Amino acid sequence: MAELDTHDSPLPTTTVKWRFPSIHPEGRKYTVVAVAIALFFYFVVSHFVGWLLVLVAIWVATFFRDPIRTTPRGDRLIVAPADGLITMIVKVPPPPELRGPDGLADGGYTRVSIFMSVFDVHINRTPITGRVKRIVYVPGKFLNADLDKASEDNERQHFLVEGADGLRIGFTQIAGLVARRILSFVKEGDPVEAGQRVGLIRFGSRVDVYLPVGTAPRVLLGQRSIAGETVLGEVGAEGTLTGSSQ
């Protein structure tokens, strides 16, 4: 990753070049299998089918891509944990699995839902710097992750991260129609930095983020978020954004 030198200048003096995203280790085995199947069909069964399966292998490799992200720093910033489309912004109570004296308090939280299609990056990242206070896995159904009731019915995994100042942010990985496994790269008690990779959902899904009471979202419905980079909200900032789709 490029380091930005700002010692004698208010602006960075180092340029950043595009690099081809690597494949996350979790996806390498699937990519190898997909390539092997494509080669078998190409040389043994049919060139045409083999080329189609090559395209599938390329898609599998692309699905597990793991690009480098540059996360803005700020004690009050909450960054997006997922790439995808902002499909819902609603006021809701926190999930029961995240409530309690050592969890989220009762009240109206702003839930920002990010839908990840099968073409989005599926590596999930923590919204704030702190310590993983709670991870709760809940088995469930595999409904369309774009539905509101997926937050309560689908297979999901809740995270609660607590910052050094006591700020607690909850977010939830939700499986969808195609997703069949939710993975976690961290465990309870682990320290994490904002933007750090914490999990993965295989093949299409959704992530919900619960913004604290008194924090308005800094994203709009229909906007696309970038995990580890897009600022979803700033704690205590209540201004309402407006925008248009065009």
Q: Which of 22-26, 34-38, 237-241 is predicted least confidently?
A: 237-241
Residue 216 confidence (pLDDT) above 50: yes
Highest mean pLDDT among 18-27, 56-65, 79-88, 203-212: 79-88
2: pLDDT confidence band, cut at 50, 70 and 90? very low
CATH number of this structure's domain 77-234: 2.70.70.10
Higher pLDDT, 146 or 181: 181
180: pLDDT confidence band, cut at 50, 70 and 90? low
Alpha-carbon torsion, ordered 170, 176, 180, 183, to 10 deg: -20
Q: What is the pLDDT of residue 178?
A: 61
- In the chain, where are the structural domains located? 1-68, 77-234
Q: Which of 96-105, 113-122, 177-186 is predicted least confidently?
A: 177-186
205 is catalytic: yes
Tokens of 43: 């040389």
d(C-alpha 203, C-alpha 99), whole Å = 29
Q: What is the pLDDT of residue 4?
A: 46
Q: Could you say which of 113, 151, 205, 225 is catalytic?
A: 205
Buried b (16+ CB within 10 A) or exposed e, 190-212: bebebbbbbbbbbbbbbbbbbbb
8: pLDDT confidence band, cut at 50, 70 and 90? low
Cα-based angle 66, 67, 72 (whole degrees, multiple of 5): 125
Q: What is the pLDDT of residue 241?
A: 77
Residue 185 confidence (pLDDT) above 90: yes
Q: What is the pLDDT of residue 24?
A: 82
Which single residue is written with the structure tokens 């609603």?
90
Tokens of 229: 């980079």
Higher pLDDT, 17 or 54: 54
204: pLDDT confidence band, cut at 50, 70 and 90? low
Q: What is the pLDDT of residue 62?
A: 85
d(C-alpha 205, C-alpha 157), whole Å = 12
Q: pLDDT tens for residues 35-94?
A: 999 999 989 888 888 899 999 999 888 888 899 999 999 889 999 999 999 999 999 999
Q: Which of 3-7, 108-112, 130-134, 223-227 is predicted least confidently?
A: 3-7
Q: What is the pLDDT of residue 45?
A: 85
